[in-house]
Chain A
Amino acid sequence: RMKYFTRLRVRRVYKWRGEPLSFNRKLKTCEYSSLSISVEGLPRTTVISTGQHILIEGEDEDNPYVARVIRLFESGKQKKAVVQWFVRVSEVPPSKLKLLGREPHPQEIFYYQGRSCDDEVNAESILRPVQVIVAAAFPDSDDKDTLYVKLSWDSKTFRVVDSASAEPAPASSPPPPPASRGPSRRALPTPDPAILRKASSGEAESLHSATKLSASKCLSAKRRNASARTPGVRKKLELSSPEKMTREDILSQLLDQELESDVALAQRLSSSPPRALPLTHSLTPLRKGSVCLKPSTVLLNKLSPSETESRDESSRSESTLTQGEVSFSRLVLFVLRVTTPSRKKESKTLREPALGVLAEVDNESSPMLPAAATPRSSKRKSAQLVSSRIRKQLNLLESRQDLDSDREDEDEFVPSKKELQSSSEEEEEEAEAGLDSDDEVVMKKSRHAAAGSRTPRSKQKSRSSTRTPRKTPNKKVAPGTPRTPRHATPSIPSRSLPARQPANVLEEARTRLHVSSVPESLPCREQEFQDIYSFVESKIIDGTGGCMYISGVPGTGKTATVHEVMRCLQHAADVDEIPPFHFIEINGMKMTDPHQAYVQILQKLTGQKATADHAAALLEKRFSNAAPRKESTVLLVDELDLLWTRKQNVMYNLFDWPTRRHARLVVLTIANTMDLPERIMINRVASRLGLTRMSFQPYSFKQLQQIITSRLNKVKAFEEDALQLVSRKVAALSGDARRCLDICRRATEICEHSSADPSATGLVGMSHVMEALNEMFSSAYVTAIKSSSSSGAVIAEFRRLGLEEVFVQHQALCRVEGLQPISVSEGLAVCQRLGACRLLLLEPSRLGVLQRIRLNVSQDDVLYALKAD
């Protein structure tokens, strides 16, 4: 595996190579063409020159930033570089990854066209050069050293990358001399030969497996065939076409033609029985980089210096072929069809290692018929049939994958050492590399874990299925703690029958009045909306940070307003009015412990999972370091008071991060009490929270009425008076919009039930609303006393301290009323019952008759309830 310099804990020395190209007097900057990086104690140096792709030190040591050098200059003794950024998959917000419409390749990067990142970096943060390829498809290689660009990302959409912009322009960046390049490569720890082989075979596999597809799969085979070769085509095109014709045009033209040619080829091939032969060979010259064909760039780093030279030569020679290249694949195939048997043999021996790997891969992916896929026999027709059958079966398996997902979870749950690895990517790599050796272990493990019901075969299957391109991004991004099943995607099973739609006006109204339905706009909170909006917007535009505290009693629309603001801002960002930003939300009530806040923030920000302490450290680093490019983050902390700890360090950090220079963090906090900062926060926390406060007043009855009206949105279900009654009543009591909506909903129900009698208008009237109000607000006690049995009522009548006295009184009363007096245990039982309803408060003890009781309701209530009888 690759090791980065940072892991080695060495100091790097950065030096300019050569004389400054130019000197800018005004800015006092010197331009240089290349920079050499040497590691202390090692004789080799790495050279970075403009136009080259580099890795830049970032927060994540395993995934440094990727960029291309545009300028190198020295300004005031500081070595600087102007770069063009590329974004890794992990840097794209998970929500936006959906726009991709497919699973991103782990090695995929995106050409960054956003504007929110500073493109000037400190040259000393450069780690090393990296291989970046503009690819139309991704070879299945695991080489972490090669990255592929296919699309560009402007923080909103993915576009097909303009190859000219992604690749170094030939004019501006003269290719560095091979001599300097060689050592620089060697300066890196040389990749494991096994991986190398696999990388190359990865491509071989993609081609080879394509050839094995049966005619029914012809279409996809063609696509894969085509795409596997495009990198070469494009590279060449880019090197050899100085014409002014737009490159995309050429590219698309090329692709189209290639597709056509492939279709034609496929047709031709399907008619000719030994169709595997030519295709199988087609990969040989490609891979070998024989003189007549251009070597694919994927293999570039595996070529020896001499080969590199030959490559240069060949590419130059090929540049003459430019126009001919459109029929490149056809040509190749044509040539190969007439290849002599001797060549065939040679190619076969050459392919041997690759085939070995291929066999292994096939084994993995076709557990049902492991022996059938031996590649050597693939030439034979019968074997071909078998392999095509395997393919079909595989497809079936994949389609059945959903059903097996439970089982897969079980698999993934196996507490193996692999689970302990933090990086899932690493794990995957290892799983692949060590598959053979691990096989037995795996078997054992799976048997151990799966309660005997599963065979190792299914283990393999699930394993291979996780590596199919269909795997979801969150599966990969979220490495779990060892004890959780990592790949479990939480979901409630979906219903077998669709939910019914509202059928009549009242049902429609009820749906609209449900608190959960999101209204188009939030009436009556325009001022608050505007304030929050302008606050957050200004912070985002300035790229600064800040805190805001929002308070208000429950049900006054605090969270809804903030969400509305965020929706609007997101929209503004989408249409490019403001720079893009992240929006994260945490809720103090939705976590078990205040320190979980760190974990949740980190997870929502980066998708990483970590323990609370680790997450706090990572966030601290993230917000305090001057990362070269960073989007603003808006953090909404709901139910802030729940984040209170004794030392208040969670709150302290939340309010301290926005004050950091590079944090670009806007924190909006919501809580119920207006004076929360003064009451529970110690000074240093309250001071950091600042004085940007906002208070949501309870709704007045007019506002409540407006809210209901706007929600109903012309659905005529309520009488005007009824609405007014509800809103007045609620406004008088709490001003809670939720309450108001709930009462209205209840009223529609009552209306619906009573609509049986013909006099009803079908509208919710006063009587219905009154009933609903009574239901919700009437004191339960009075009804309870009314309905409690007479002894209970008698006992409850006395607000006495000792049960004994109550008994005596009760006896007297019984004599008066001519009832039989009750015994002690009976009386106690009655008291217990009333105590359970909390009509009485009882001493929690077994004191018996000495137990003290107290009335839990006011005496007036009792008298009222009894009088009403």
Chain B
Amino acid sequence: MSKRKGKDAHLPVGECITLVQQILRERLCHQQLPDKPDGIEAQHKHLLELLKRTAVHGESNSVLIVGPRGAGKTMLLKCVLRDLLEEKEAQKNLLQVHLNGLLQTDDRIALKEITRQLHLENVVGDKVFGSFAENLAFLLEALKKGDRSSSRPVLFVLDEFDLFAHHKNQTLLYNLFDVSQSAQAPIAVVGVTCRLDVLELLEKRVKSRFSHRQIHLLSNLTFTEYLERVQTQLCLPDDFPDSKFAQDWNDSIQTLCEDKSVEEVLQRHFNSSKDFRSMHMLLMLCLSRVSVAKPAIKPADLLEASRLCFADAKANMLHGLSILELCLIIAMKHLNDVYEGEPFNLQMVHNEFKKFLQRKSNSMYNFDQPVIMKVCINMKPLSKFFLPFNSFPATRFLESNTLYCFRCSSAMIGRITVNIYIFCMKTDKFNIFPSKPITYTSCFSSPSGLRAPAAAGADPTG
């Protein structure tokens, strides 16, 4: 033991880094349940007690876990189940049925899934036989036969609970809640949802049968708690083989969290969202920058990661455009401003482009219409994002490739509405244009004036 310890104490840095990556990744990618649910101990206790009573005393219950996405609903449930199954009495008895509203899109599928997971008698192999009505009758009969003290308790977990409320007549929910409110086989219904108004989705008789227990997972963290959370998420556990490395790592994390710029970045993240998932995303990006050469997370890493996280996706797309494409988009934008959102066709875009060239003819070659057409086709994938086509089928666009279609298709293309926002354009994109960046900016001047704070200084004549 001591020998091993002595050997382990001096792991090469490479191995240490691999271990760190492995441990932290498991933690950040939700592959490993935390030992203790932080910040939601009360909810954890409530749910655990509730399920324990079902498992041990055979008391039927129903409960909803409500919280925004990324608030740790599933984590809570999993933790509770893990703790529950540690108890032998519960482990031996409890039957579990897991359903997901996204998978079991109607009651028929849900019933089959329940029957399959319960291994009821009409299951052969992996298949469930019988019609929908028979399945329902069968399941209800099965549940009815049981009673509180003798049959095994069944735990129903309904993920995306709100989607079950959209099923026809809410038959499944009614029956589950009805069983939970009558002296039949003991069941616990646990719904997991992110909709706060989920109770309003339930029909009144379904609602009446629901016990109205809700466990809200609304984190009211303060920023200091958030900071602490970041630190604990990044810290290495005590049982890390190389204790010296762990010590160093933890110290570096400590200093990282005390850094002013890091705090600012985290504050910004905290302001935009408090959930764990976005935080984990940020930390994950930091973590991936750790290497043998740089065996610690530096504030710069965090800043870079945050920049990546906050990068505007739409503005990003403009980065890769060629000059001609950009010119065309600018032309479209201009048209859009001039005609106040009216649709236009490719011919108009081309004319606009030519007008543009006439004014600043030295900067660019006058392309022919086919080239423009081709460019437009190439931009099509982009257009999905910032050029919404209203009721314009994608296939027609490709037809315009052919010579004959070109003329008429130019009319068809007309139904393009361009929405380019100034925020995208005012990025550093224009530094790429070596010649006359100001010329291009000038065409952004818009009647509203509101949209072009960056172009405010430019002349509005363009």
Contact = CB atoms under 8 A, between A and B. Distances in A.
Contacts of A745: 211
Contacts of A596: 133
Interface in A370-413: 405-406, 409-410, 413
B396 interface: no
B214 A838 contact: no
B194 A836 contact: yes
Interface in A202-216: none
A848 B314 contact: yes
Given A495-B153, A592-B136, A848-B386, A830 B169 contact: no
Contact of B58 (A499, A589, A791, A849): A499
A790 interface: yes
A492 B142 contact: yes
B423 interface: yes
A50 interface: no
B280 interface: no
B147 to A, nearest CB: 10
B402 interface: no
Contacts of B178: 589-590
Given A493-B152, A554-B205, A849-B419, A483 B130 contact: yes
Interface string B106-143: 01100000000010111011000111111011111111
Contacts of A819: 271
A547 to B, nearest CB: 21
A637 interface: no
Contacts of B60: 514, 516
Given A515-B182, A739-B208, A590 B271 contact: no
A823 B386 contact: no
B271 A776 contact: no
A326 to B, nearest CB: 48
B390 to A, nearest CB: 11
Contacts of A518: 183
B204 A591 contact: no
A691 interface: no
B45 interface: yes
Nearest to A781: B196
Given A485-B122, A784-B218, A823-B312, A838 B196 contact: yes
B216 interface: yes
B436 interface: no
Nearest to A612: B133
Tier of interface size on chain A: 35 or more
Interface in A455-488: 481, 483-485, 488
B69 A488 contact: no
A511 interface: yes
B191 to A, nearest CB: 14
B49 A749 contact: yes
A789 to B, nearest CB: 5
Contacts of A856: 197
Interface in B258-293: 268, 270-275
B388 A847 contact: yes
A496 B94 CA distance: 10
A498 B153 CA distance: 11
B89 interface: yes
B122 to A, nearest CB: 5
A592 B171 contact: yes
B145 to A, nearest CB: 5
Contacts of B45: 753
Given A413-B129, A492-B154, A753-B45, A589 B124 contact: no
A631 interface: no
Contacts of B134: 481, 484
A490 interface: yes
Given A590-B175, A780-B214, A484 B140 contact: no
Interface string A338-352: 000000000000000
Contacts of A496: 92-93, 152
Contacts of B383: none
Contacts of B68: 784, 788, 833, 836-837
B145 A790 contact: no
Nearest to B120: A490
A742 interface: yes
A7 to B, nearest CB: 30
A791 B278 CA distance: 15
A135 interface: no
B182 A516 contact: yes
A172 interface: no
Interface in A738-778: 738-739, 742-743, 745-746, 749, 753, 775-776
Interface string A490-514: 1111111111111000010011001
Contact of B273 (A490, A738, A789): A789
Contacts of A409: 121-122, 124
Contacts of B154: 492
B181 interface: yes
B56 A500 contact: yes
A808 B448 CA distance: 13
A559 to B, nearest CB: 10
Contact of B419 (A510, A753, A850): A850
Nearest to A785: B218
A490 B204 contact: no
Given A672-B204, A739-B208, A819-B271, A848 B419 contact: yes
A642 interface: yes
A846 B220 CA distance: 31
A825 interface: yes
A786 B216 CA distance: 13
A815 B310 CA distance: 19
B24 interface: no
B212 A739 contact: yes
A484 B204 contact: no
Contacts of A792: 273
A783 B131 CA distance: 45
A24 interface: no
A672 B205 contact: yes
A40 interface: no
A127 B6 CA distance: 100
Given A499-B57, A589-B174, A589-B178, A838 B121 contact: no
A589 B171 CA distance: 6
Nearest to A415: B129
Nearest to A451: B125
Contact of B150 (A494, A753, A839): A494
Contact of A830 (B122, B197, B272): B272
A478 to B, nearest CB: 11
Given A499-B148, A672-B204, A826-B310, A490 B133 contact: no
A746 B213 CA distance: 8
Contacts of A600: 137
Interface of A: 405-406, 409-410, 413, 451, 481, 483-485, 488-502, 507, 510-511, 514-518, 553-555, 589-593, 596, 599-600, 639, 642, 672, 736, 738-739, 742-743, 745-746, 749, 753, 775-776, 780-781, 783-784, 786-792, 808, 819-820, 822-826, 829-830, 833, 836-839, 846-850, 856
**Which 9 A-B pairs rank lowest in CB-CB distance, beginning with the nearest?**
A554-B208, A490-B142, A488-B121, A499-B58, A787-B218, A787-B220, A490-B141, A823-B312, A484-B130
Interface of B: 45-46, 49, 56-60, 66, 68-69, 89, 92-93, 95, 107-108, 118, 120-122, 124-125, 129-134, 136-143, 145-146, 148-154, 169, 171, 174-175, 178, 180-186, 194-197, 204-205, 207-209, 211-214, 216, 218-220, 268, 270-275, 310-315, 385-386, 388, 419, 421, 423, 450
19 contacts: A492-B152, A494-B146, A496-B93, A514-B60, A516-B148, A553-B208, A591-B137, A642-B169, A775-B213, A775-B214, A776-B213, A783-B218, A788-B68, A791-B272, A808-B450, A824-B312, A825-B311, A836-B69, A849-B421
Given A494-B150, A553-B204, 11 more contacts: A413-B124, A492-B146, A516-B181, A672-B205, A742-B211, A749-B49, A775-B213, A780-B197, A808-B450, A836-B68, A838-B195
